[in-house]
């Protein structure tokens, strides 16, 4: 019985081994057939072609930066000049201006609007007739009020003038005045900004000194008045607390004596 059981196990092992070998053979044959079906060649990868950018048919640049450069080149280059006194005075207003260009009409308007001012060159800028300018200054140093704009341009000759009224608030050895010139490019609308600076000294005046003295004097008078009132109050309090009973004052912390009562035995 035992011998038959062992024979049965051997047969089953042999069958299982044969099944495994048959499976391996079939897998090997299938792999060879799949490899042979490709004719032994590998399909080439598709070629990558580099496309070249073609220029615009009109010949204009297509890059945004190139467009901006082209528009800037089309602007007119003109000289910038300041027109201001050589010195300013504290707490006193003064007129000054900034001009772009040098047309005859512009020079005439400068002589009319800003007489007695000194012309100081500020370089050159590229502008158009619709340029705008703003005067920037430290608000703790001066107050600026726009005074007007003159467009004396004739054709391609730029003639622009801006005027301001400047009121320095205190003396200074160097008051910085900065003009912000802005031009909008026609096609893109991007602003082209240029800064031109002017430095002027501000002198001390009698009016400014008198104002400062009066302001300080009023401040000190107020302080002295408060201190004097406080000293007087303390003095009165100390004097009252140190009076003696002989002075007719009641010592501090003592109740006043009662009023005398009439004698009951005395005739009424």
Distance CA 65, CA 185 (A): 12
- Cβ atoms within 10 Å, residue 47: 5
Q: Is the pTM of this model over 0.75?
A: no
Question: What are the residue boundaries of the structural domains of the chain, listed by start?
Answer: 70-207
Binned at pLDDT 50, 70 and 90, residue 234 comes out as confident
Q: Is the pLDDT of residue 44 over 80?
A: no
pLDDT at res. 4: 54
pLDDT at res. 206: 81
Please name the residue that has the structure tokens 């300080």. Answer: 216
Q: Is the pLDDT of residue 33 over 80?
A: no
Residues 75-115: tens digit of each pLDDT: 889 999 999 999 999 999 999 999 999 999 999 999 999 99
Beta bridge mates, 100 = 80, 160
CB 171, CB 203: distance < 8 Å: yes
Classified by CATH at the fold level, domain 70-207 comes out as Immunoglobulin-like (2.60.40)
Residues 118-131: tens digit of each pLDDT: 999 999 999 888 89
Give per-residue burial for 158-171: e unless 16+ CB within 10 Å, then b: bbbbbbbebebbeb
């Amino acid at each position: 019985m035992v011998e038959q059981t062992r024979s049965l196990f051997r047969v089953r092992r042999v069958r299982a081994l044969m099944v495994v070998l048959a499976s391996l053979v079939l897998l090997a044959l299938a792999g060879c057939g799949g490899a042979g079906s490709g004719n032994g060649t590998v399909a080439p990868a598709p070629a990558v072609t580099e496309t070249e950018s073609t220029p615009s048919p009109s010949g204009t640049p297509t890059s945004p930066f190139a467009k901006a450069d082209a528009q800037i080149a089309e602007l007119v280059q003109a000289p910038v000049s300041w027109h201001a006194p050589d010195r300013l005075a504290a707490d006193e207003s003064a007129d000054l201006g900034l001009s772009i260009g040098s047309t005859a009409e512009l020079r005439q308007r400068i002589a009319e609007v800003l007489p007695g001012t000194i012309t100081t060159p500020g370089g050159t800028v590229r502008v158009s007739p619709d340029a705008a300018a703003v005067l920037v200054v430290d608000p703790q140093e001066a107050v600026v009020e726009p005074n007007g704009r003159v467009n004396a341009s004739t054709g391609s000759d730029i003639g622009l003038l801006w005027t301001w009224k400047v009121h320095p608030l205190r003396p200074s050895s160097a008051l910085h005045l900065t003009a912000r010139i802005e031009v909008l490019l026609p096609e893109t609308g991007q602003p082209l900004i240029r800064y031109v600076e002017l430095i002027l000294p501000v002198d001390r005046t009698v009016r400014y000194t008198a104002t400062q003295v009066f302001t300080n004097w009023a401040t000190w008078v107020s302080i002295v008045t408060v201190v004097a009132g406080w000293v007087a109050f303390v003095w009165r309090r100390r004097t009252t607390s140190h009076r003696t009973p002989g002075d007719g004052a009641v010592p501090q912390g003592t109740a006043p004596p009662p009023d005398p009562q009439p004698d009951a035995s005395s005739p009424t």
